Amino acid sequence: MTTVLSIDQGTSGTKAIVVAADGHLAGAAARAVQPRYSPGGAVEQDPAALLDSVIDAGREAVARAGLPVDVVTLANQGETVLAWDPETGTPLSDMIVWQDRRAEPICAALEEHQQTFAEGTGLVLDPYFSAPKMAWLRRHVTTAGVVTTSDTWLLHHLTGAFVTDVSTASRSLVTGLDTTSWDPALLALFGLEHEPLPEIVNCDAVVGTTTAFGGTLPVGGLIVDQQAALAAGGCLAPGDAKCTFGTGAFLLVNTGSGATRSRAGLAASVAWRVRDSTVYCLDGQVYAAASAVRWMQRLGLIAEAADLDRVAAPDDGGVLAVPALAGLAAPWWRPDATASLTGMTLSTTAGHLVTAVLRGIAAQVAELGDAVARDLGRPLRRLRADGGLTECRTLMQAVADVMRAEVEVFASPHATAMGAAAMARMAVEPGLSLTDAVVPWTPSVVYAPRWDADRAADFRSRWREAALG
């Protein structure tokens, strides 16, 4: 098969891998990109640093692989936006990251249209998605140039194209879930009806060529990060679910070819469109996962993420943590929610706090699993997991315990990039199916639940009371 340079541009950094024709990882590189967190819910990134990270990581991965590359692909953050000059590519604003909450007043002013957005897009009216942040940029930063998601700007620098893929567009609140095209009426509600918008392309499309990584290479197989991980995990059949544990935690379940709307507070969007066939998914979000770990680092509870298992206590010592450090997402959609720690005494240790925060993350994932079960009509008995925090045994065991489900950990730290690589292969190999394009894998470890049903139910009841009471 095809050799792919697959670039995963994420919130805290960019990873690039070269996937050889036989499916093995031939080279990898990474560059850190630090978001800036400011009072008032602001979360921003430097666009130049993002672009540099893509170029530098991609070039280093190719050099390490020592193989000729056939195609380049890019997975992106999904809901991160910026304003920029389409003639020169010059940024006209910082990147406004998906965690940014400054568009809350814009969403609040549109509250009477909540059902319109839900029915039209499958999404909840929330500043997490891209259109509210685009509108905020137009009202508070600049009316010049174009305002798009980060992928469109990066692809413009790589290829000169003005495009986004269908899975990314479906995360906007202004794309019809059934039509998979921009919706003029929804754009008008945000005051974006006159904006030049990128062409929406299939996930198996070739959108141009680039010389950024040596030679002239086609660029294609574009997909948003979480949907890429869903594909890489082999979640290709309705009911298959995964959770990515990165800056946040994101649980997605494949719902097949029907554009299902959630009845349980989840978001519905396009998983991918390949060979002109659209597959949909439901998803829920935990806004703070690795970002909660970084918060614990700043407090001095741990020195680095690798310390989690060493510092974590065998139990939480009666402490309950609601790590809503950036609000609560699905199924509550409470951007105003704040974090809390309860149950502390003079005997509480750093280890108790670490364990409590990890269990608090697991509790939110379990709530998402319940929402999926309500929508599907059956419980999740298996969850595939990927992302950097899967290295934390304490967290993975907590997820298995609280959810009462087996957790299968993806065998590579590069699930998102591997999923994008599958799309890229389809882009340049017209006869290839998605099943054949995805590299087969077996779990590196499987966590079985150790808690009985009564213990899990008791913990979740107490946690839910702390979160919402």
Residues 173 and 98 in one domain: yes
Query: Which is it for the CA torsion 173, 177, 183, 189, positive or negative?
Result: negative
**What is the rounded CA–CA span in Å between residue 359 and residue 403?**
11
Residues 160 and 26 in one domain: yes
Residues 15 and 142 in one domain: yes
Q: Does residue 247 form part of some domain?
A: no
pLDDT, tens digit, 9 for 90 and up, residues 295-319: 999 999 999 999 999 999 999 999 9
Asked if 174 contacts 183 with a C-beta cutoff of 8 angstroms, the reply is yes
Residues 42 and 162 in one domain: yes
Q: Does residue 429 form part of some domain?
A: no
Cut 0.85: pTM above it? yes
Asked if 4 contacts 20 with a C-beta cutoff of 8 angstroms, the reply is no
Mean pLDDT, the chain, integer? 96
Residues 215 and 312 in one domain: no
Residues 217 and 291 in one domain: no
- What is the strand order of the sheet 36-38 is part of? 36-38, 42-45, 95-96, 81-84, 146-149
The residue out of 187, 202, 226 marking a domain boundary is 226
The residue out of 183, 210, 226 marking a domain boundary is 226
Residue whose C-alpha is closest to residue 389's, from 363, 418, 419, 413: 413
Average pLDDT of 398-420? 96
Q: What total number of domains does the chain contain?
A: 2
**pLDDT band at residue 335 under the 50/70/90 scheme:** confident
Of the chain, the percentage scoring pLDDT greater than 90 comes to 95
Residues 155 and 298 in one domain: no
CATH at 95: 3.30.420.40
pLDDT, tens digit, 9 for 90 and up, residues 13-36: 999 999 999 999 999 999 999 899
Residues 45 and 181 in one domain: yes
464's tokens: 């839910």
Residue 324 has pLDDT above 90, yes or no: yes
Q: Does residue 208 form part of some domain?
A: yes
Residues 205 and 339 in one domain: no
Q: Does residue 462 form part of some domain?
A: yes
For the residues of 244-300, what is the DSSP string, one character each? EESSSEEEEEEEETS-PPPSSS-EEEEEEEETTEEEEEEEEEES-SHHHHHHHHHHT
Average pLDDT of 229-239? 96
Residue 101 has pLDDT above 80, yes or no: yes
Residues 84 and 220 in one domain: yes
Q: Does residue 216 form part of some domain?
A: yes
Q: Does residue 273 form part of some domain?
A: no
Q: Domain range for residue 116? A: 4-226
Q: Does residue 268 form part of some domain?
A: no
The residue out of 226, 247, 274 marking a domain boundary is 226
DSSP state, 389? Answer: G
Query: Which is it for the CA torsion 361, 411, 35, 93, positive or negative?
Result: negative
Residues 222 and 74 in one domain: yes
Q: Does residue 187 form part of some domain?
A: yes
Residues 318 and 216 in one domain: no
The pairing of beta strand 36-38 with beta strand 42-45: antiparallel
